Amino acid sequence: MSSGAGRLDVARVRGLFPGLSDGYVHADSPAGALVPESVVRAVSQAMRVPIANRGGVFPSSARAEQLVSAARSAVADLVGGTAQGVVLGANMTTLTYAVARALAKRWRPGDEIVVSRLDHDANVRPWIQLADETGTVVRWAEVDIETGELPDWQYDELITPRTRLVAVTAASNAIGTRPDVAAIAHRAHRVGALVYVDAVHAAPHGLVDRTALGADFVAVSAYKWCGPHVGAVVADPALLAEFWPDKLVPAPDRVPDRYETGTPPFELYAGVAAAVDHLASLCADATGTRRERLATSMAAVSRYEGELFTRLDRTLRAMPHVQVLGLPPNPTPTLSFTVAGLRPRQVAHELARRGVCAWDGDYYARELFDAIGVNETGGAVRLGLLHYNTVADVDHILQTIADLR
């Protein structure tokens, strides 16, 4: 699992991350990935030169324009969109609230939306809060609590001619489930409903294709794929032009700028572009346009992470004192588990004591963990692998958990 045609040279990859020098096993990437030196350098260099706000006629203002343009182009390449349809913002949650408010201006009492129990709360709460304000009916897609799957067939009944929006995740940040988003989107589009896809957890682990997903809106967060804390929502520019988000009067009316409030962190936008370039360069065999290099590199990432995760998942499930939640097919390299006789926080403390970074709680997958029934006892412990993790990391994690017997 180290090198070869179309494969990941993990030794080379690990050398790109100064954060790995702390000696810990970082299995906490679903809450934020480590940052490679190239991203650190890009942000630092951007802060070393004058940057003004956009719209001026002098060089420091032109630099701001260049940073915004580069970040939008990079995100567009990441998800298969166009730069003119990339809305940048503080984070996915903030942007989703903004888009939800814009879309909800057209909702009327009796209209319907569909959300899922599988999703991160950022793709649930904004929609149902706006539904409550507008008299819109909320319908819930349920999770099979044994397998962790989100069956697409249930949307045949959930989606009606009154459906205005379907919000669904491309991958669960808690148990890795990857629903058949395209099948769900097809059902939604038959009645003219819009589809808002949370690809925050999917983007670090495989190539995202907005068109193939059938997504009208795709949301991502750069800090999940080795970038800074910046979010983005990507849509067709013509679709963005149909809605009017809340904005200041002097702020630009053009798309996508009218969705972006306040002066942005231009220096972090330099890191967004650098992070996409990092992903595109992970496979030494990758050639062509950045989108083509992303396709090659993310395929290599998916294969490598899949092999690591199979080792982790199968061994954990064989431990009698461990319960792994769900059993979804083709998950991202992410799982949540509990240990008999110990609360999740105790397990996380023990992992940390042995040099493993792992989260406990519900990780904002509140609806999912309520449905499974683990929130009453503190949720679960989550392990998430990324392209800088190794077999040695996995084996250390497994030995630590085995010792909890």
pLDDT digits (tens, 9 = 90+) for 357-392: 999 999 999 999 999 999 999 999 999 999 999 999
Q: Residue 348 forms beta bridges with which residues?
A: none
293 in any annotated domain: no
Residue 7: predicted pLDDT:
86
Global pTM exceeds 0.85? yes
Q: Residue 221 forms beta bridges with which residues?
A: 231
Residues 29, 124, single domain; the answer is no
Residues 265, 317, single domain; the answer is no
Residues 343, 388, single domain; the answer is yes
3 in any annotated domain: no
CATH number (domain holding residue 371): 3.90.1150.10
> Are 83 and 76 in contact, with CB atoms under 8 Å apart?
yes
Angle at 218 between CA 277 and CA 229, to 5 degrees: 50
Residues 90, 75, single domain; the answer is yes
Residues 221, 363, single domain; the answer is no
Helix axes 290-317, 266-280, angle to 10 degrees: 80
**Of 278, 309, 328, which residue sits at a domain end?**
278
Residues 65, 95, single domain; the answer is yes
91 in any annotated domain: yes
Angle at 44 between CA 220 and CA 201, to 5 degrees: 15
Residues 136, 222, single domain; the answer is yes
Residues 30, 150, single domain; the answer is no
Total tally of structural domains belonging to the chain:
2
Residue 5: predicted pLDDT:
53
Which long-range CB contacts under 8 A does 60-65 form with residues at least 24 apart?
Answer: 63/266, 64/266
Residue 3: predicted pLDDT:
36
Residue 6: predicted pLDDT:
76
**Of 211, 245, 278, which residue sits at a domain end?**
278
Both structure tokens of 168: 């669904």
Residues 123, 231, single domain; the answer is yes
How large is the average pLDDT for residues 181-191?
98
285 in any annotated domain: no
383 in any annotated domain: yes
Q: Is 233 left (phi over 0), alpha (psi -120 to 50) or beta?
A: beta
117 in any annotated domain: yes
Give the whole-angstrom CA distance, residue 259 versus residue 251: 10
235 in any annotated domain: yes
Residues 211, 357, single domain; the answer is no
Residue appearing with tokens 């480590």: 34
112 in any annotated domain: yes
- Asked whether residue 53 carries a pLDDT value surpassing 70, the answer given is yes
Give residue-wise pLDDT tens across range 255-312.
Answer: 999 999 999 999 999 999 999 999 999 999 899 999 999 999 999 999 999 999 999 9
Give the whole-angstrom CA distance, residue 396 versus residue 393: 5
CATH number (domain holding residue 227): 3.40.640.10
- Asked whether residue 4 carries a pLDDT value surpassing 60, the answer given is no
Residue 21: give the domain boundaries: 10-35+299-402
Residues 186, 319, single domain; the answer is no
**Of 278, 313, 343, which residue sits at a domain end?**
278
Residues 236, 358, single domain; the answer is no
